[in-house]
Structure 1
Amino acid sequence: MFLPLISNSQNLQLSEKGEIHILTCGPYQGELYSAFGHSAIRVKDPQKGYDILYNYGVFDFDQPNFYLNFARGHLNYKLGVTEYRNFRDYYIYYNRYIHEQVLNLSHQQKQQLFDFLQWNALPENQYYLYDYFYDNCATRVRDALVKTFGDSVQFDGSYINTNYTIRELTDLYLKQQPWGDLGIDICLGLPMDKVAAPYEYMFLPDYIEKGFNHATIVRDGKRVPLVKNTIITYNSTPEEDQASAITPLISFIILLFIGIIATYFGYKKGKLYAGFDVLLFSVIGLIGWLLLLLWLATDHNAAARNFNLLWAIPLHFPVALLLLMRKKPAFLTKYFSATWIISLLLLLCWAFLPQQIHYAFIPFVILIGLRAFYIQKFLSKHEAA
């Protein structure tokens, strides 16, 4: 009975004892999306009996065309409203720390922010188009204050003394999820390698907390710290590293070793082992088509201009299938000659590319170049014969 009241009303008033807290919750390594932590806003008023949690990180699987919208970059998130206690207990259950920054606002300012949150939670206002780095559950918390108070709120980014790119900031949180990190590095392109401004660090909940600690607001005509004090609601206990022992680098080294063995015995026996190459280059080509679609056919802005297409060349599929033909087309020799040259140039230029390509792909690109070189030599020899 309480939830419909708080989610559909714009008339709730705070007493003088009312407070607004910014919540920062720790990461959970059980899921990729939860590895970055979470941010939310708590409105607490013991005199009125309010303890409301505003959460910008809610999405609905039942929304029309959910999976299509997700693939196209049109996923709607919404501002969810719940009881604080339920939210708190959930995060404690998963051993995720909870820090609560008590905002240093006047009674009037608290009511202004509460009014904005109530308005934002209305069904016609609660949805927004999610963006990984520029419009997410953390940035929405910051923007709620900016929209409410305008230039009265100022964030001082001088405490940031690093020059991380957005990709590097993301990598910091995925050390226990190497395969998730690999997937992000494959799918997201050059925009991820932009050096983040201090304000842009706040797409991460940790930097929402740090940013608010270094922010000020005009209160009663004076500029004061935005945060009055911080409450440690729950300290998480240390857990074992959950990272898989089989990392992408190890997997690709093993695959390279298999490719070297296949090439050695193929050379000794004068065989191509076309099945191996068809599988290898078809998978690579299909990855390339996926990356091209993410770039050109969706609104995932971070997937644009992806330099992984230098090794994941879409034309590998279906060209690789032609290796199964008894009489192979003449152009295959030149095609695989170009492929190993591109692979070699990519390896030589790896450290100088404007986009950071995941280091685990180095042995994989070596494998691509090795097999393409062998295919070209094999086809040239049989053409001459």
Structure 2
Amino acid sequence: MKKAVFLLLIISTVCHAQVKLSDKAEISVITFGPGQGELYSAFGHSAFRINDAELGIDEAYDYGVFDFDQPNFYLNFARGYLNYKMAIRNYKHFEGYYIFNNRYVHEQKLNLNQAQKQRLYDYLEWNAKPENQYYRYDYFYDNCATKMPAVIKKVFGDSVVFDGSHIKTNYTIRELTDLYLKYQPWGDLGIDVCLGLPMDKKASPYEYMFLPDYVEAGFAHATINRDGAVRPLVKERISIYESREEDMPHTTLTPLVVFSIVFVILAVISFFDIKRNKLSNGVDVVLFTVLGLLGLLFLLLWVATDHKAAARNMNLLWALPTHLVAVIAFIKKPKWLEKYFFAVAILSVLLLLTWPFLPQKMHYALIPLVMGIGLRAYIQHRIRKQLQAPL
């Protein structure tokens, strides 16, 4: 019985792969709008659609799928080995999910002749096979959105041209990311502090298409050589659903507010430390331990993972992993701690002075935090120096 079922599955797969599309078939690029419910949904989504009413086919080819059941999933995720896959979904169910969540749905029907439709369909079917469906995901250069132009270029080569002249801005990858996170201030901060200088590369018009909105714009300005003539790649754009206006998530406890409060608290503590000439070491143990752990995380993301965008992270200038050594040294109170904190204070001041000119765009909400770090480092230096001075 098991052999019979297995044989039927093989026959079904082979037959499905040999399907010839009818002349009523349409292939589209679908753009789903951003959603603010989760961080990952804030950028939107893209997929291919194959719709052949004569054959009863209406499927979405989705490159944004990951499998929690992969061996060592969480370890690989932490190391940057993000294995995503392409999956075939029932299009109407797929579309319904986004409409239910009030995310716009736009369809761009591609201007392909019958042979071109079949070539693209055959490639997508091949790509959906278990041995071909996985790919190494990259946040900015190989994701569900970039797969749309990449697949088109792979199938049709130089006969397709993406004209980037419609891009009039000169954004970096980081700035493009920030555009979509204005309602997610903590998510924006997290991305900014964990990712380094590669995020500050000026994006080419083609590279803008790591975002679904720009995929839609890119396809709208692309051409294809069809039947010996250059034609628009998109023959028709359909607005299937437009998002209803709704209240966006809002929090008063933004990073800037929280770090400003932290600075005020540290300033008050520092005032009383100077007044009584005594250090609040407990406060600094907590502060510099947290900073040291963050610095260690940033360093590991850079040197011990495959997260390429986390390389050369200048946030290590305020989150120094060496703070962990300094905190441990609090127990024995070595003399070098005074000089260490003096160096940290100087580094904090220099960082604040050069903030607008750094090659990496640092999140503005960190300014009061760095001020607090510099202040506490100065207090540690000043009082330790006074206590070490001979009477």
TM-score (normalised: structure 1):
0.97
**Which residue number corresponds to residue 312 of structure 1?**
319
**Which residue number corresponds to residue 336 of structure 1?**
341
- Equivalent residue letter for 1:365: V
Report the CA distance shift for 1:8/1:77 in structure 2 as closer, same or farther (over 3 A): farther
1:271 Cα deviation (Å)? 1.8
Query: Aligned with 1:20: secondary structure?
Result: strand
**Which residue number corresponds to residue 198 of structure 1?**
205
**Which residue number corresponds to residue 138 of structure 1?**
145
Give 1:118's match in structure 2, choosing from 125, 133, 143: 125
- Equivalent residue letter for 1:73: G
Give 1:359's match in structure 2, choosing from 355, 364, 378: 364
Assess if the C-alpha contact under 8 Å between 2:60 and 2:94 holds in 1.
Answer: yes
Structure 2 unpaired stretches of 5+: none
Q: 1: distance between equivalents of 2:215 and 2:208?
A: 8
**Which residue number corresponds to residue 162 of structure 2?**
155
Query: Aligned with 1:198: secondary structure?
Result: coil
**Which residue number corresponds to residue 287 of structure 2?**
280
After TM superposition, the runs of 4+ consecutive aligned structure 1 residues lying more than 3 A away are 3-9
Q: 1: distance between equivalents of 2:385 and 2:312?
A: 34
Give 2:300's match in structure 1, choosing from 293, 301, 307: 293
Superposed CA offset, 1:53-80 (max 9, x none): 1000000001001011111110100001
Q: Percent identity?
A: 60
**Which residue number corresponds to residue 105 of structure 1?**
112
Structure 1 unpaired stretches of 5+: none
**Comparing 47-56 and 240-249, the one that deviates more:** 240-249
**Which residue number corresponds to residue 376 of structure 1?**
381
**Which residue number corresponds to residue 218 of structure 1?**
225
1:9 Cα deviation (Å)? 3.6
Superposed CA offset, 1:229-280 (max 9, x none): 1111111101112032210000000000000010011111222010000000
1:10 Cα deviation (Å)? 1.8
Q: How does 1:25-174 map to 2 (within 5 A)?
A: 25-174=32-181
1:7 Cα deviation (Å)? 10
Q: 1: distance between equivalents of 2:157 and 2:110?
A: 16
Query: Aligned with 1:192: secondary structure?
Result: helix
- Equivalent residue letter for 1:31: E
Q: 1: distance between equivalents of 2:346 and 2:110?
A: 59
Q: 2: distance between equivalents of 1:282 and 1:305?
A: 22
Assess if the C-alpha contact under 8 Å between 2:36 and 2:248 holds in 1.
Answer: no
1:318 Cα deviation (Å)? 2.9
Superposed CA offset, 1:138-162 (max 9, x none): 0111111111000000000001010
1:209 aligns with 2:199: no
1:287 Cα deviation (Å)? 0.3
Q: 2: distance between equivalents of 1:99 and 1:83?
A: 17
Give 1:262's match in structure 2, choosing from 251, 266, 269: 269
1:6 Cα deviation (Å)? 7.1
1:42 Cα deviation (Å)? 0.4
Assess if the C-alpha contact under 8 Å between 2:185 and 2:255 holds in 1.
Answer: yes
1:22 aligns with 2:29: yes
Assess if the C-alpha contact under 8 Å between 1:189 and 1:305 holds in 2.
Answer: yes
CA RMSD of aligned residues (A): 1.5
Q: 2: distance between equivalents of 1:301 and 1:321?
A: 32
Superposed CA offset, 1:342-368 (max 9, x none): 000000111110000100000000000
Assess if the C-alpha contact under 8 Å between 1:7 and 1:122 holds in 2.
Answer: no
Report the CA distance shift for 1:154/1:6 in structure 2 as closer, same or farther (over 3 A): farther
Assess if the C-alpha contact under 8 Å between 1:7 and 1:121 holds in 2.
Answer: no
1:321 Cα deviation (Å)? 3.1
Give 1:345's match in structure 2, choosing from 350, 357, 360: 350
Q: 2: distance between equivalents of 1:65 and 1:309?
A: 29
Assess if the C-alpha contact under 8 Å between 1:8 and 1:121 holds in 2.
Answer: no
Assess if the C-alpha contact under 8 Å between 1:185 and 1:357 holds in 2.
Answer: yes
**Comparing 190-199 and 259-268, the one that deviates more:** 259-268
- Equivalent residue letter for 1:368: I
Assess if the C-alpha contact under 8 Å between 1:167 and 1:192 holds in 2.
Answer: yes
- Equivalent residue letter for 2:348: S
Superposed CA offset, 1:18-58 (max 9, x none): 00010000011111111000000000000111001100000
- Equivalent residue letter for 2:267: I
1:253 aligns with 2:265: no
Report the CA distance shift for 1:164/1:49 in structure 2 as closer, same or farther (over 3 A): same
Report the CA distance shift for 1:6/1:117 in structure 2 as closer, same or farther (over 3 A): farther
Superposed CA offset, 1:105-126 (max 9, x none): 0011001000000000000000
- Equivalent residue letter for 2:100: Y
Query: Aligned with 1:168: secondary structure?
Result: helix
